Amino acid sequence: MKKKYTLGVIGGGFMARAILSGAMTKGILSAEEILVCDPSAESRTYFEKCGIDVSADNADAVRRSSYLLFSIKPQTFPEVARALQGQQFPIVISIMAGKTKAGIRAATGAGKIARVMPNLPCSIGAGMSAIDASELPDDARNFVLGLFLSVGEVIETEEDQLNAVTAVSGSGPAYIYLFLRAFIAAAQEQGLRHDQAETLAFQTMEGGLAMTKTSGKTLDELIAAVSSKGGTTIAALQSFQKDNFEQSIARAVAAAAKRAEELSE
């Protein structure tokens, strides 16, 4: 039976809204090719205003779509899966952290499954998504890649690397926000107003990142370019070294990866 929708979505929260907005903006999907299922009337109203069909019954997305996107919290999945037992699943795309393909398959009986770990900046089209689409045929793999390229950059990876991905790009925006918050506070301690400190910190971060992408230099070469023997940058770098700054980052990422592994099933 021909499916009415290209993509059915279970869960109409923040990430689903970001992904569908990007897909429609980039022409990957039209509103008429999408069905969103969510128990929340508010969520259904949001998508209806976008011209997208909606349903309160998750089985509609399973039965009527060529691809099914699970965009729900991992802790919600067991209940959702129980209600869908016995359904014939299309190709599944999961953005649920910690839910393995084996676990999804055991709970639903689904055949081909792709797992994706996107991050928060997908909401502004500047996301980073890691994708394991190794089970999918080429046309389906290309659809999944295109869907997430519409909201940022993409890398392909193996499923057993997704916990590390979660610790780096999934959780990573919070590390950057924490660093910026501390940087701004430190600037204020040196007598700068909050607005001045924010402007200096944000533009320094943005400019430094732009140079890493365009200069052709390694990170070590860029650090050296800012550092003069006996100068201010060296004094700061030595302070970072004394405080084990790099080891602290390594420990934090390792802690996130360990927690992702504990949550996996």
* Distances, alpha carbon 97 to alpha carbons 32, 33, 103, 195, 202, in Å: 28, 26, 12, 36, 30
- DSSP 3-state of 127: strand
Percent of the chain's residues with pLDDT above 70:
99
pLDDT, mean over the chain = 96
Residue 1, pLDDT > 70, answer no
CA-atom Rg of the chain in angstroms: 22
Helix (H) or strand (E) holding 37: strand 34-37
Determine contact, residues 114/147, Cβ cutoff 8 Å: no
Helix (H) or strand (E) holding 54: strand 53-55
CATH architecture of the domain 5-161 equals 3-Layer(aba) Sandwich (3.40)
Tokens of 48: 């209806």
Q: Is the dihedral of CA 88, 93, 96, 97 positive or negative?
A: positive
Q: Give residue-wise pLDDT tens across range 119-169.
A: 999 999 999 999 999 999 999 999 999 999 999 999 999 999 999 999 999
Q: Is the domain covering 172-263 a CATH 1.10.3730.10 domain?
A: yes
Residue ranges in 190-244 assigned as alpha helix (H): 194-214, 219-226, 232-242
Determine contact, residues 200/192, Cβ cutoff 8 Å: yes
pLDDT at residue 98 in the model: 87
Q: Give residue-wise pLDDT tens across range 71-104.
A: 999 999 999 999 999 999 999 999 998 899 999 9
Q: Is the dihedral of CA 86, 91, 26, 212 positive or negative?
A: positive
All structural domains of the chain with their residue ranges: 5-161, 172-263
